[in-house]
Amino acid sequence: MSSWRAIAAALLFAALPALAGEIPPDARRSGYTFMGPDTRAMQDDDTSNPGMLFVLDGEALWSTKAGSAEKACADCHGDARSSMKGVAARYPALDKLLARPITLDQRINLCRANHQQATALTYESRDLLALSAFVAHQSRGIAITAGDDPDLKPFVAQGRDLFMQREGQLNLACSNCHDDNFDKRLAGAPITQAQPTGYPLYRLEWQTLGSLERRLRSCMTGVRAQAYEYGSPELVALELYLMSRARGLKMETPAVRP
Ligand code: HEC
Ligand code: HEC
């Protein structure tokens, strides 16, 4: 990340095309298409994809009783291959009681609190990543539909505003890199379109699985901005905007990224 300052200068002062604006639907591409053949092969082969270990952990947790209700996810939801199919492709989704969008992680923790009488799992903890990877894996290959609910409109708009807003000491908006300069390189790595198709995913730089929120927070730190807290309304809105911006792209969980 230390090289981001030089890069930002390059992005700002190099002869770049005028603002390209939002990416047309038929030009949207997953981060997968920007990767080299080795990283693609790692994602494609379940026996070499390190994210699959988390999926297997999640599968075990799915049928483990937890909390004072002594219920497992499977006791209510049965076989995840059918009950959870396509679910992650429409998250963040509106929670009618809370009257706001919630992420898949938050939904899982609501089930722990309300249906298992168990304590919430910490963001980025192995168990929460494993459960969300297992649930999201049931949507692999399914087209993203998040943000379709008309009641979510104001939240999608909030996320879009955040995506377009310049921030941090480097005074860059997400869109300056991910709409205007994708396919250019930053510290040797290609800048992608920031399509959230693969989360939670295994990042080689992290040497572990991580959530979309972790990825967004590291981009915020990259431009020297104060990163929003996990689960904050701002991060959820950004996540919702990214998912609705990726509508039609297929889920890849667990993806692998450099
Ligand atoms: C006692 C029954 C029960 C248990 C145990 C339970 N859930 Fe749920 N779950 C529900 C109900 C009911 C809903 C619908 C939303 C609500 O009323 O909370 C739901 C909703 C969900 C959804 C959202 C589905 C959608 O279509 O939007 C996910 C994902 C989910 N649960 C995952 C889990 C996971 C993971 C566990 C285990 C950690 C779990 N649930 C444990 C009852 C349960
Ligand atoms: C200075 C350029 C820059 C800015 C500004 C920036 N990012 Fe990134 N972002 C990157 C780079 C570089 C990566 C890693 C390579 C890649 O996936 O593009 C990345 C990765 C991502 C990814 C992962 C894509 C995938 O395939 O998994 C997402 C999502 C993302 N950024 C969202 C954001 C959001 C939201 C913001 C604003 C809060 C933001 N970025 C700001 C450069 C930037």
CATH of the domain at 183: 1.10.760.10
What pLDDT, on the 0 to 100 scale, is given for residue 13? 46
Specify whether 105 is located in the same domain as 185. Answer: no
What pLDDT, on the 0 to 100 scale, is given for residue 21? 79
What pLDDT, on the 0 to 100 scale, is given for residue 18? 45
Specify whether 160 is located in the same domain as 252. Answer: yes
Which of 109, 137, 165 corresponds to the end of one domain?
A: 137
Q: Whose alpha carbon is nearest atom 15 of ligand 2?
A: 191
- Write b or e for each residue in 52-69: b if 16 or more Cβ atoms lie within 10 A of its Cβ, otherwise e: bebbebbbebbeeebeee
| Dist. CA 27–CA 52, nearest whole Å | 29
87 within ligand 1 shell (Cβ under 6 A): yes
Q: How far is CA 27 from CA 33, 108, 195, 196, 248, in A?
A: 12, 33, 12, 15, 12
| Dist. CA 58–CA 61, nearest whole Å | 5
Number of domains in the chain: 2
Q: Using most ligand atoms within 8 A of CB, pick from 178, 226, 239 the residue to mutate for ligand 2.
A: 178
What pLDDT, on the 0 to 100 scale, is given for residue 203? 98
Tell me which of 73, 174, 177, 219 is the catalytic residue. Answer: 219
User: 162, 238 in Cβ contact below 8 A?
Assistant: yes
116 within ligand 1 shell (Cβ under 6 A): yes
Q: Cis link prior to 254 (omega < 30° from 0)?
A: yes
Specify whether 97 is located in the same domain as 194. Answer: no
How many CB atoms lie under 10 A from the CB of residue 88?
27
Q: Cis link prior to 154 (omega < 30° from 0)?
A: no
| Dist. CA 103–CA 30, nearest whole Å | 20
What pLDDT, on the 0 to 100 scale, is given for residue 15? 42
Specify whether 8 is located in the same domain as 86. Answer: no
Specify whether 159 is located in the same domain as 253. Answer: yes
Specify whether 40 is located in the same domain as 149. Answer: yes
Q: Cis link prior to 258 (omega < 30° from 0)?
A: no
Which structural domain range is residue 104 located in? 52-137
135 within ligand 1 shell (Cβ under 6 A): yes
Specify whether 153 is located in the same domain as 39. Answer: yes
Q: Whose alpha carbon is nearest atom 23 of ligand 1?
A: 107
User: For ligand 2, which residues put their CB under 6 angstroms from it?
Assistant: 4, 8, 31, 163, 172, 174, 176-178, 186, 189, 191-192, 194-196, 198, 215-216, 219-220, 222-223, 238, 242, 257
Mean pLDDT by 10 residues, the chain (258 residues): 62 52 92 97 98 98 98 98 98 97 98 98 98 98 97 98 96 96 89 98 98 98 96 98 98 98
Specify whether 182 is located in the same domain as 96. Answer: no
pTM of the model: 0.96
Active site annotation includes 219: yes
73 within ligand 1 shell (Cβ under 6 A): yes
